[in-house]
Structure 1
Amino acid sequence: MGNIPLWLCIPFAGLLLCIAIFPLVKGEWWDKNKGWAVLIWSLLFMIPFAVKYGAGETAETVLECIVNDYLSFIVLLFGLFCVSGNINLEGDFVGSPRMNTGLLAIGTLLSSCIGTTGASMLLVRPMIQMNSWRRNKSHIMVFFIFLISNMGGCLTPIGDPPLLMGFMRGVPFTWSLRLFPVLIFNMVILLTVFYFIDRRAYRRDIALGMRPDISRPTTTLKVNGLHNIIFMIMIVAGVVLSGVLPGMKAFQNADGSVISVPIFRSVRLAVPTLIEIVIILVAAFLSFKTTKSEVRTKNHFTWGAIEEVAVLFIGIFITMQPALMILKSKGAELGLTKPLEMFWATGALSSFLDNTPTYLVFLTTAGTLGATSGIATTVGTVAVKMLMAISCGAVFMGANTYIGNAPNFMVKSISDENGIKMPSFFGYMLCSLKFLIPVFIIDTLVFFL
């Protein structure tokens, strides 16, 4: 298609501005009309694109994005949302600074076992319930997004999709465990900061006369719908299979390409992806069939959060295509040859674009730099520190904005539904500038120079 003009990125920027501004100035209107905004900005991308490149090319581009990116993204989110909504943790745990800090620490490490989305959906409601008695609590969910929804996913390919893509391209499954020192370093800093912020907010709440219900022993913990852990494991297995099956000969054509279902022109749905989708949907269906509705009632379960994410992100996925095309065509020309450059470039773009293709662009770029030692991948040998920088940039900096990583917006929506006044789009970015960017600067000095 040649060089993609930069002006085709305007609809993407316009949609992001709508997501950032309208909830502040026209909240009720936005709640009712966000679907129309998504449709209009998507058409404002597709129509000029069709005029320049043809209707067939446009249909192919949009379908490629929906079939091979958005579909698996939203099905995974839907499955985890359903299954986690059928697990209810009941206990007399009080949302104190120590308890909140401990749950954040546990959740951050859990993210690498069941994915950032899985851990977020599993723990977001217990965190909200623990702190339901408090007034000053939005900072709790902001740090929840920082740690559980993002940073915690850096240790395994299960943790975050970019690392899964790296695994599919030859990065060893256990390689990302090397990022453990970076994760622990960041956890210590952020959890310490969080503890003192939460302690101050906790004392303000107590001073306002707020008291938790501590009439029963604080050691009680009851898990309703515990059998849904089986369905959670099913979903994680489906994600892992989608990364493993393409490398098996049984799922390859004679020319080595993955067996797939033709959709339109070159757009094809890979059979391993189809298997993943079926497994996730079956898990979600069985979860609802085998769990009493009382569990969902206790969780204040509604479909609002997943509906909002589904609507907004299909627009984001479609309108960001020109930006991704430009990045793919120009990535090797950016002159990024040092780990610190890769860390910040990958991270900055992952804050607003899908971090998976961003990771792949810079992994491919790093593979062309001619490293003589490091990690051998299908895109070339990548120096260890360079791969660490790309991986951390993609995973960590997805926390910089609500749209940087899939669970961010979901956690925000569920928090809003439960009466927690979350920061606006720009307000959240201010939080990330205040708390995350200093940590990333320290990371650069300690790990990526």
Structure 2
Amino acid sequence: MFATLPLLSLKATAATLSNGIQYGTNGSLTVPPFWLAIPFILLLLMIATGPLFFPTFWHKHYPKVAILLATFVMVYYCTVLENKLKPVEAAAEYVQFMALITALYMATGGIAIKVHRRVTPFINIILLFTGGLFANLIGTTGASMLFIRPYLGLNRGRIKVYHIVFFIFIVSNIGGALTPIGDPPLFLGFLKGVPFAWTLMHNSLPWLMALVLLLSIFYFFERSNKAVPTDAPCAGIVSIAGSKNFIWLVLIIGAVFLDPTICTWLPTIDYHGHPISFVRELIMLTIATLAFYTANKQVLLSNGFSLAPLNEVCLIFIGIFGTMIPALELIGSFAASEVGKQLITPTTLYWGTGFFSSVLDNAPTYLNFVAASMAAQGGSIEQLADVQAYAAGGIYPDSVTKLSAIALASVFFGAMTYIGNGPNFMVKAIAEQAGVTMPPFGRYIFRFSMPILLPILFMIWVFFFAL
């Protein structure tokens, strides 16, 4: 779901047994009760209904609500379940998430890309497709932060809600399905042993099909937009100010690969036998600070740069990261159970991964479903040779199809909701700051995701996973 690199160095202390029940290192039962998922459901409902039905209360008190619900869940884990590792893991993942989001937001905030042409549907299509391609090079978060402002500027005077929605669909989510850099779950698969080029080889056709369909639909929306842009056409095509910030952007992407499980030379702190290192996050936050203070102030001003969108994401996701712990554990427990294993097919993996990636962190969802899929066929996600064999196919029946279903669903379905992927909420906040009245959580789903995106996701399933 989020544009984050989950805590790869912290393994779950709970060992998943053949019956799907998890026990901590001290032998105590660690699977949370089902009712402990209520705070997460409650938070989702409030995010969906708050801005619509009680906007004054929500905008004033949402930080308190998010922090209170997260605190309740984490205290319950520490005191009742006696499982302190899960809250520590969630907190560490949150720090990683915010470090990456903050660094990319600060670095791209100092870059002003302007397209000096009168906007046409074709120009918008080129920009969206370019953003989707760049998502594979700098991640969906990086591409979203880099392209959203020139996209808003290009459409000044005619910007509509659908412009932002299709940007979220294409640049913030589906575009990043071709490389491990594109989206965190794919990067996790790469670190576990899936070859770097695997996603490009096996995801290209569904990726192209989804983008062509989305851009075709976008074209019909554009043709009906008769609003005249305020800017007159210019002779130039593209100008870039603050290009030195691309150096910071490259350094951030490079820092993504500094994981202690891969770079064993990194200084770490041992926590229950697992190495923890925040060197990557410290580097990212340092880059964020340097990017902000060295940025051209005129560029920041022209971008309408503000910390308000970053602050909103920071506070909302405290609640999401804290309350989703039991939901993820319950999913993992069921997926590892005998009943769960019997239900594993490309179809159930596609829709199951997709549904939970829409509302939960898509990275651990990806790992849970891959682990369950491999375990059902006698493999282990912790064994490099098993993962490589699973990705290659041959030894494990339908393994390539199953892995592709999980990978695509974890990326594509992130566009179904505002919280399905980290950049979604950030793009929404930036658009609202620019004066676009974005639909609330539920209306986004029922007006755009379900009638436009869901049929395309269904077609992807029919063409690639239904048979």
TM-score, normalized by the shorter chain, greater than 0.5: yes
**1:337 CA displacement:** 2.6
Matched residue SS, 1:328? helix
Equivalent in 213, 219, 232 of residue 195 of structure 1: 219
Q: Does 1:336 align with 2:361?
A: no
1:151 is matched with which residue? 174
Q: Distance in 2 between matches of 1:100 and 1:344?
A: 31
Query: Which of residues 281, 284, 287 in structure 2 aligns to 1:280?
Result: 284
Residue pair 1:119, 1:148 contacting (<8 A) in 2 also: yes
Which of residues 432, 438, 441 is equivalent to 2:455? 438
The counterpart of 2:244, out of the listed 221, 227, 237, is: 227
Opposite residue 349 of structure 1, the aligned amino acid is: F
1:270 to 2:298 alignment: no
2:24 maps to what in 1? Answer: none
Secondary structure at 1:132 match in 2 = coil
- How far the C-alpha of 1:277 sits from its partner, in A, is 1.2
From 54, 61, 71, the counterpart of 1:33: 61
8 Å Cα contact 2:194-2:388 kept in structure 1: no
Query: 1:381 pairs with 378, 384, 390, which one?
Result: 390
Whichever structure has more helix as a proportion of its residues is 1
- Aligned residue-pair number: 422
Question: Greater relative contact order (Cα 8 A, min sep 6): structure 1 or 2?
Answer: 2
Say if 2:179 and 2:197, in contact at 8 Å, map to a contact too: yes
Q: SS of 2:113's equivalent?
A: strand
Instruction: Say whether the 8 Å CA contact 1:167–1:173 is kept in structure 2.
Output: yes
Task: Determine whether 1:315 maps to 2:319.
Answer: yes
Whether 2:256 is the aligned partner of 1:247: answer no
Partner of 1:255: none
Cα-Cα RMSD: 2.0
Aligned partners of 2:75 and 2:250: how far apart in 1?
Answer: 42
Q: 1:160 aligns with which of 183, 204, 228?
A: 183
Query: Structure 1 residues 419, 267: closer, same or farther in 2, change over 3 A?
Result: farther
What is the letter of the counterpart of residue 366 of structure 2? Answer: Y
Q: Matches of residues 5-44 of structure 1 in structure 2 within 5 Å?
A: 5-44=33-72
Alpha carbons 1:368, 1:380 under 8 Å: kept: no
Name the % identity: 36
Q: CA deviation at 1:266?
A: 3.1
Q: Which amino acid aligns with 2:305?
A: F
Partner residue, 2:428: 412
Q: Report the more deviating stretch, 19-28 or 293-302.
A: 19-28
Is 1:367–1:380's contact at 8 Å kept on the other side of the alignment? no
Aligned to 1:90, the other structure's residue is in SS state strand
Once residues 423 and 146 of structure 1 are traced to their aligned partners in structure 2, the CA distance between those partners, rounded to angstroms, is 15
Q: What is the DSSP-based 3-state SS (H/G/I as helix, E as strand, rest coil) of the residue aligned with 1:163?
A: helix
Match of 1:256? none
Distance 1:39 1:290 in 2: 33
Q: What is the 5 A alignment of 1:123-134?
A: 123-134=147-158
Question: 1:42·1:319 contact (CA, 8 Å) conserved in 2?
Answer: yes
CA deviation after TM superposition for structure 1 residue 6, in Å:
0.7
Which blocks of at least 5 consecutive residues in structure 2 are unaligned? 1-28, 392-398
**2:31 matched to which residue of 1?**
3
Question: Are positions 1:213 and 2:238 aligned together?
Answer: no
Q: Secondary structure at the match of 2:239?
A: strand
Structure 2 residue 391 is the aligned partner of structure 1 residue 366: no
Alignment check: 8 A CA contact 1:86 1:291 kept: yes
The residue aligned with 2:163 is: 140
How many Å apart are 1:61 and its aligned residue? 2.6
Q: 1:21 deviation in Å?
A: 0.9
TM-score w.r.t. length of structure 2: 0.86
Q: CA offset at residue 29 of structure 1?
A: 2.9
Question: Does the 8 A contact of 2:148 with 2:427 survive in 1?
Answer: yes
For 2:255, the equivalent position in structure 1 comes to: 238
TM-score by length of 1: 0.89
Is the 8 Å Cα contact of residues 116 and 148 (structure 1) preserved in structure 2? yes
Cα deviation code 1:337-367 (max 9, x no counterpart): 3212111110100000000000000111121
Q: Tell me by how many angstroms 1:270 deviates.
A: 2.5
2:91 is matched with which residue?
Answer: 66
Cα pair 1:162 1:394 within 8 Å, conserved: yes
Equivalent runs, 1:48-67 vs 2, <5 Å: 48-50=76-78, 52-54=80-82, 57=83, 59-67=84-92
Question: 4+ residue stretches of structure 1 with deviation over 4 A?
Answer: 47-51, 375-380
Give a deviation string over 1:361-419, Cα, whole Å, max 9, x none.
011112123289xx954497351111110000100001111001110000001111111
Consecutive unaligned residues of structure 1, counting only runs of 5 or more, are 252-258
**Matched position secondary structure for 2:269:** strand
Letter in 2 for 1:270: I
Q: Displacement, 1:42? A: 2.0
Change (3 A) 1:53 1:423: same
Does residue 421 in structure 1 map to residue 437 in structure 2?
A: yes
1:368–1:379 contact (8 Å) kept in structure 2: no
When residues 297 and 343 of structure 1 are mapped into structure 2, their CA distance, relative to the original with a 3 A threshold, is same
Q: CA deviation at 1:331?
A: 1.0
For residues 265-302 of structure 1, the C-alpha deviation after alignment (integer angstroms, 9 at most, x for no partner) is 6396623xx23212212322222232221110000000
C-alpha distance in structure 1 between counterparts of 2:388 and 2:360, whole Å: 22
